């Protein structure tokens, strides 16, 4: 009996060995036949603090995700997270640098005390008129004076751009300069605080994510924001008076984690530099322009019977402009204080503005 079992075991072992050899052989040839591009895709984590309904989320970020995956033939997969899932608007620089996610949308106004200060020249009151011309002016000026800032802060830039001009979404009508007195006005960043004071308002630092509730509760009287952007946040619901001050614009930037970029194969780096980065910036510029032009009418219909669109006369708007001249002078002083040639930078900025058909206010 023992001998019989031994013979059966030997035969079974032989069969198992033969079967195992066949499996290994099949696996080897199957693996050898897998094409090189079937490797696991590179995961690009895109942290977006804007809501999923924001015009940029719908018309720029989602189409860009598809573009990247198509152009790279699936070698890069973009994981897009809306609504601040991965971090707030003020945390973008640190989050991207630290690798919390790889790509994020930066607001320059938040980084006045960093080398990004240079591009805040584009946020001076009544300087740039909007996204198309403003972005061209800023790009030309940045090429000359601010291309070094990204290496200094340790990120890769995929481009800078301008929003549509900012207006006031107010819980009460503002028809004259005097009506600004005591208004709790959202100040986007350090330089915007003094602009609010120039207008007689109470500067109130506020992130876009918090403003809707602040307007409802009265913590904020007026949200200073772009009409295109406001469509996504719906600030006109608690603040149904849109006051057409039309200034300033915000300078935005697309920041990419440096380590992520450095590890990309050379052909993908080139694609980001020459095609994918410029494509995303251009999408955002076009959307801010198109949606910004349409937004006023959309908001006017939305607030009918609750509020209104208020447009200043030329004389009244001139009062808002005149009091902000010190902020232009202060930018030059701050630049000089930091060791830059502030006067030269400002002269070039005004020259480039004129070249593109924009007359500096001062």
Please report, for the domain that includes residue 302, its CATH number: 3.40.190.170
Looking at the fold, whether 158 and 235 belong to one and the same domain comes out as: no
> Is residue 361, in this structure, part of any structural domain at all?
no
Kindly give, in sequence order, each residue whose CB lies less than 8 Å from that of residue 74, ignoring residues fewer than 6 positions away. Answer: 37, 41
Looking at the fold, whether 81 and 101 belong to one and the same domain comes out as: yes
Mean pLDDT, rounded, for 157-177 = 97
Residue after which a domain boundary falls, among 291, 315, 347:
291
Question: Domain count of the chain?
Answer: 2
185, 196 Cβ separation under 8 angstroms: yes
Q: Which domain holds residue 345?
A: 167-249+296-355
User: Does residue 237 sit in helix, strand or coil?
Assistant: coil
Q: What is the pLDDT of residue 39?
A: 82
Looking at the fold, whether 278 and 318 belong to one and the same domain comes out as: no
Q: Is 78 exposed, middle or buried (0-12, 13-18, 19+ CB in 10 A)?
A: buried
The pTM for the full model equals 0.86
Residue after which a domain boundary falls, among 273, 291, 309:
291
Write out pLDDT tens, residues 184-209. 999 999 999 999 999 999 999 999 99
196, 166 Cβ separation under 8 angstroms: no
Write out pLDDT tens, residues 210-245. 999 999 999 999 999 999 999 999 999 999 999 999
Looking at the fold, whether 82 and 156 belong to one and the same domain comes out as: yes
């Amino acid at each position: 009996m023992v001998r019989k079992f031994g013979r059966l075991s030997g035969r079974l072992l032989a069969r198992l060995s033969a079967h195992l050899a066949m499996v290994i052989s099949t696996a080897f040839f199957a693996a050898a036949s897998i094409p090189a591009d079937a490797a696991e895709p590179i995961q690009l984590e895109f942290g977006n603090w804007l809501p999923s309904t924001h015009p940029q989320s719908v018309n720029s970020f989602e189409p860009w995700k598809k573009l990247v995956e198509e152009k790279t033939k699936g070698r890069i997969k973009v994981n897009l997270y809306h609504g601040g899932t991965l971090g707030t608007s003020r945390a973008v620089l640190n989050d991207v640098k630290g690798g919390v996610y790889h790509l994020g949308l930066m607001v320059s106004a938040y980084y006045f005390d960093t080398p990004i200060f240079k591009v805040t020249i584009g946020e001076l009151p009544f300087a740039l008129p909007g996204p198309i011309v403003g972005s061209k002016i800023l790009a030309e000026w940045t090429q000359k004076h601010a291309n070094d800032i990204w290496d200094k802060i340790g990120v890769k830039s995929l481009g800078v751009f301008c929003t549509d001009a900012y207006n006031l979404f107010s819980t009460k009508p503002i028809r004259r300069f005097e009506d600004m007195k005591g208004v709790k006005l959202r100040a986007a960043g350090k330089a915007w605080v003094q602009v609010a004071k120039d207008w007689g308002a109470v500067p109130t630092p506020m992130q876009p994510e918090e403003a809707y509730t602040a307007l409802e509760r009265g913590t904020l009287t007026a949200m200073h924001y772009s009409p295109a952007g406001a469509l996504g946040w719906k600030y006109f619901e608690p603040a149904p008076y849109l006051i057409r001050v039309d200034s300033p614009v915000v300078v935005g930037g697309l920041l990419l984690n440096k380590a992520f970029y450095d590890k990309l194969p050379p052909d993908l780096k080139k694609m980001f530099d020459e095609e994918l980065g410029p494509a995303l910036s251009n999408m955002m510029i076009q959307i801010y322009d198109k949606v910004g032009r349409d937004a006023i009418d959309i908001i006017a219909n939305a607030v009918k019977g609750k509020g209104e669109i208020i447009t200043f006369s030329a004389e009244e708007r001139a009062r808002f402009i005149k009091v902000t001249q010190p902020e232009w002078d202060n930018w030059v002083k701050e630049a000089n204080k930091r060791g830059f040639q502030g006067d030269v930078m400002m002269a070039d900025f005004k020259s480039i503005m004129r070249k593109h058909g924009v007359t500096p206010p001062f």
